[in-house]
Amino acid sequence: MSVSKNDVFESDAELLKRSPEELEAEGRKLDAQKAGARVGLTSDEIIINGGRPLKGRIEVRGAKNLATKAMVAALLGKTPSVLRNVPNISDVRVVAGLLALHGVLITRNEDQTEWRLDPSNVEVAHQADIDAHAGSSRIPILFCGPLLHRLGEAFIPDLGGCRIGDRPIDFHLDALRNFGAVIEKLPSGISLTAPNGLKGANIELPYPSVGATEQVLLTAVLAEGQTELRNAAIEPEIIDLICILQKMGAIITVEPNRVIFIEGVPELRGYDHRAIFDRNEAASWAAAALATKGDVFVGGVKQEEMMTFLNVFRKVGGDFDVHDDGIRFWHPGGALKPVTIETDVHPGFMTDWQQPLVVALTQAEGTSTIHETVYENRFGFTDALNKMGAEITVYKDGLNGDTRRVMRREFEQAAVITGPTPLTGADIEVPDLRGGFSHLIAALTAEGQSKVTNLGIISRGYENFIEKLRLLGADFVFES
Ligand code: EPU
């Protein structure tokens, strides 16, 4: 194992004491120096002088939507786990804080990409501490099964996450009840116990929810007997989580047609795993290259997990080259073309890919339509693009008489984008993680100056994005 006691590790206690701002302070000071004179920005704001193509190479690290879950999985092992390729994002720090509160000893190597999680002394944490630490993440809900297995009880605070719809947890709670969990609603969250232990269950999800599938996996692996999960999500991050659990000693079979069988085992050991790359970050930088007429090599990206995105990227008029160590994305010149997209669960077009792509579609010649089928409220970010000159109409109840491939849900949203529309700089505020990154792309694409505020949200899921903007030649001012 590449982790040795000679490496520089930081203890969990130290980690808890440091705020995300402190952790990022070093990088931000550098930014301010390089940007020249201070102009009185807070560390949550950036001024971007747009209209310059992004060019260069950046690396993406492990997926936010795997790394955070892999960290929770470490709770299930009898021995320490090692997770590599961990992104330096605030969602990871929130999960680390919660694990530390539950007695997991966390140490990191010098460049902080390799984390060792020792769950030997897992203990009950105080509800008030959990509540104070859960921040805006949705990951705490995934602590249910592992904590019930380890401690026989769990407290989960009210969840945060991006404001992109109701984001209920009914699938999670129904699944947990099927395993034998008893759930009590408290004013500040939920309390769970398992008086008779957790037993394998037959579960059919109403929708292939990513989080609920992970909930079932993390609970079933140590439950007594067999679990059959139907209508499961099969996102690459879920398959990576299954690989981790298999390394730990779990027996999991992924069948065709979204069926997963899990044979419960009495105990699991720790894992050593390199997190799958972040598909959402990759697609975001690819869209930024296209919108700004740039040329960006995104290191660490693999083709297979990006196939659906790559097809759309090509249809819109972008070009790409697949290399062993990443994918180069560029705008080959000429007009971009409009597309019609329906967001969907894997292997469909991810809901997290539409926001960055919409910015590029404002530059396409003609009318594009995006049907958002995963979340009921994920076009809020388009208001800012319209302010900058885009022509985007959001249909909150979807489009009437429209034929669609993806099954209709009880809600429906569509955005119609008419282009090409030149964008001009404006003052805009980041509304949520993916919408926020699309605001950055819009500011980079627009002629003139934009001030983007509420940047902290972007640090939830994009590692060192300020540094990456610099590497790609963006013209901006950022101060710590
Ligand atoms: N849903 C329910 N009840 C539930 C759970 C989900 O109705 O108990 C609904 C949701 O409201 C939504 C749909 O099912 O309409 C899909 O939700 P899902 O559970 O799949 O999403 P999630 O697990 O909460 C993860 C990612 C999201 C990503 C979605 C879809 C994490 C931490 N989050 O969310 O990522 O958009 O899957 O792929 O893994 C992001 O990274 O910015 C982000 C929002």
pLDDT-wise least confident of 173-177, 395-399, 402-406, 413-417: 402-406
- Output the residue whose Cα is nearest ligand 1's atom 32: 65
Question: Cα–Cα distance between 248 and 226 in angstroms, integer?
Answer: 17
Confidence of residue 37 (pLDDT cuts 50, 70, 90): low
- Output the residue whose Cα is nearest ligand 1's atom 18: 209
Question: Cα–Cα distance between 350 and 65 in angstroms, integer?
Answer: 13
Question: Cα–Cα distance between 28 and 46 in angstroms, integer?
Answer: 11
The DSSP letter of residue 143 is G
210 CA distance to ligand 1 middle (Å):
6
The residue ranges of DSSP E strands in 272-365, in sequence order, are: 272-274, 295-299, 319-323, 326-330, 340-342
112 CA distance to ligand 1 middle (Å):
28
- pLDDT tens figures, 41-78: 888 999 999 999 999 999 999 999 999 999 999 999 99
The residues assigned a catalytic role are: 162
- pLDDT tens figures, 246-294: 999 999 999 999 999 999 999 999 999 999 999 999 999 999 999 999 9
Question: Cα–Cα distance between 182 and 280 in angstroms, integer?
Answer: 35
211 CA distance to ligand 1 middle (Å):
6
Q: Which of 146, 131, 130, 85 is nearest to 111 (CA)?
A: 85
> Region 345-363: what's the mean pLDDT?
98
360 shares its domain with 240: no
The contacts of residue 310 (CB under 8 Å, 6+ apart) are 303, 320, 327
- Output the residue whose Cα is nearest ligand 1's atom 43: 352
Q: What pTM does this model have?
A: 0.91
Confidence of residue 7 (pLDDT cuts 50, 70, 90): very low
Is the per-residue pLDDT at 20 higher than 90? Answer: no
Question: Cα–Cα distance between 442 and 386 in angstroms, integer?
Answer: 10
Domain carrying residue 56: 5-60+277-477
Predicted local distance difference test score (pLDDT) of residue 164 = 55
222 shares its domain with 350: no
- Output the residue whose Cα is nearest ligand 1's atom 15: 375
Predicted local distance difference test score (pLDDT) of residue 27 = 43
Predicted local distance difference test score (pLDDT) of residue 376 = 86
- pLDDT tens figures, 329-340: 999 999 999 999
371 shares its domain with 268: no
- pLDDT tens figures, 135-179: 777 899 999 999 999 999 999 988 765 665 556 899 999 999 999
Predicted local distance difference test score (pLDDT) of residue 192 = 96
Question: Cα–Cα distance between 222 and 248 in angstroms, integer?
Answer: 11
pLDDT-wise least confident of 155-169, 311-325, 340-354, 408-422: 155-169
> Region 103-114: what's the mean pLDDT?
95
72 CA distance to ligand 1 middle (Å):
17
283 shares its domain with 340: yes
Q: Is 348 exposed, middle or buried (0-12, 13-18, 19+ CB in 10 A)?
A: middle
Predicted local distance difference test score (pLDDT) of residue 6 = 30
351 shares its domain with 393: yes
441 shares its domain with 457: yes
343 CA distance to ligand 1 middle (Å):
13
> Region 397-412: what's the mean pLDDT?
78
The contacts of residue 189 (CB under 8 Å, 6+ apart) are 127, 130, 131, 155, 156, 157, 158
- pLDDT tens figures, 168-216: 899 999 999 999 999 999 888 899 999 999 999 999 999 999 999 999 9
Predicted local distance difference test score (pLDDT) of residue 16 = 37
Q: How many CB atoms lie within 10 A of CB 250?
A: 22
107 CA distance to ligand 1 middle (Å):
29
Predicted local distance difference test score (pLDDT) of residue 133 = 84
Residue 456 has phi, psi (to 5 degrees) of -55, -35
Q: Where are the alpha helices (DSSP H) in 317-452?
A: 351-361, 382-387, 433-445
- Which atom of ligand 1 lies nearest, measured to the CA of 214? 23
In a mutational test of the pocket of ligand 1, which residue from 167, 284, 434 has the highest number of ligand atoms less than 8 Å from its CB?
Answer: 167
Predicted local distance difference test score (pLDDT) of residue 401 = 72
357 shares its domain with 372: yes
- Output the residue whose Cα is nearest ligand 1's atom 14: 209
Question: Cα–Cα distance between 168 and 431 in angstroms, integer?
Answer: 20
In a mutational test of the pocket of ligand 1, which residue from 209, 308, 354, 374 has the highest number of ligand atoms less than 8 Å from its CB?
Answer: 209
Q: DSSP letter string over 198-265?
A: -B--EEE-SS--HHHHHHHHHHHTTSBSEEEEES----HHHHHHHHHHHHHT-EEEEETTTEEEEE--
The DSSP letter of residue 42 is -
How many domains does the chain contain in total?
Answer: 2
Is the per-residue pLDDT at 228 higher than 80? Answer: yes
Q: Which of 231, 249, 274 is the last residue of a domain?
A: 274
Confidence of residue 36 (pLDDT cuts 50, 70, 90): very low
Predicted local distance difference test score (pLDDT) of residue 38 = 61
- Which atom of ligand 1 lies nearest, measured to the CA of 172? 8
Radius of gyration of the chain from Cα atoms? Answer: 22
Mean pLDDT score of the chain: 90
263 shares its domain with 122: yes
Predicted local distance difference test score (pLDDT) of residue 167 = 67
Predicted local distance difference test score (pLDDT) of residue 409 = 77
25 shares its domain with 96: no
113 shares its domain with 147: yes
Confidence of residue 103 (pLDDT cuts 50, 70, 90): very high
308 shares its domain with 249: no
- Output the residue whose Cα is nearest ligand 1's atom 26: 65
209 CA distance to ligand 1 middle (Å):
6
Predicted local distance difference test score (pLDDT) of residue 188 = 83
Mapped onto helix, strand or coil, the DSSP state of residue 170 is helix
In a mutational test of the pocket of ligand 1, which residue from 349, 373, 374 has the highest number of ligand atoms less than 8 Å from its CB?
Answer: 374
Give the pair of three-digit tokens for residue 105: 């000893």
Q: Name all residues whose Cβ lies below 6 A of ligand 1.
A: 64-65, 138, 162, 165-172, 207, 209-212, 233, 280, 350-352, 374-375, 433-434, 461
54 shares its domain with 68: no
Predicted local distance difference test score (pLDDT) of residue 160 = 64
Report yes or no: 243 and 235 within 8 Å, Cβ to Cβ. no
- pLDDT tens figures, 365-391: 999 999 999 998 899 999 999 999 999
- Which atom of ligand 1 lies nearest, measured to the CA of 170? 8
- Output the residue whose Cα is nearest ligand 1's atom 16: 209
Strand 251-255 relative to strand 226-230, pairing? unpaired
Mapped onto helix, strand or coil, the DSSP state of residue 324 is coil
Positive or negative CA dihedral for 227, 232, 237, 243? positive
- Output the residue whose Cα is nearest ligand 1's atom 23: 211
Q: Which of 224, 240, 274 is the last residue of a domain?
A: 274
Cα angle for residues 71, 67, 54 (degrees, 5° grid): 155
324 CA distance to ligand 1 middle (Å):
31
CATH of the domain at 158: 3.65.10.10
Predicted local distance difference test score (pLDDT) of residue 166 = 58
> Region 100-121: what's the mean pLDDT?
96
Q: Which of 241, 258, 274 is the last residue of a domain?
A: 274
- Which atom of ligand 1 lies nearest, measured to the CA of 166? 11
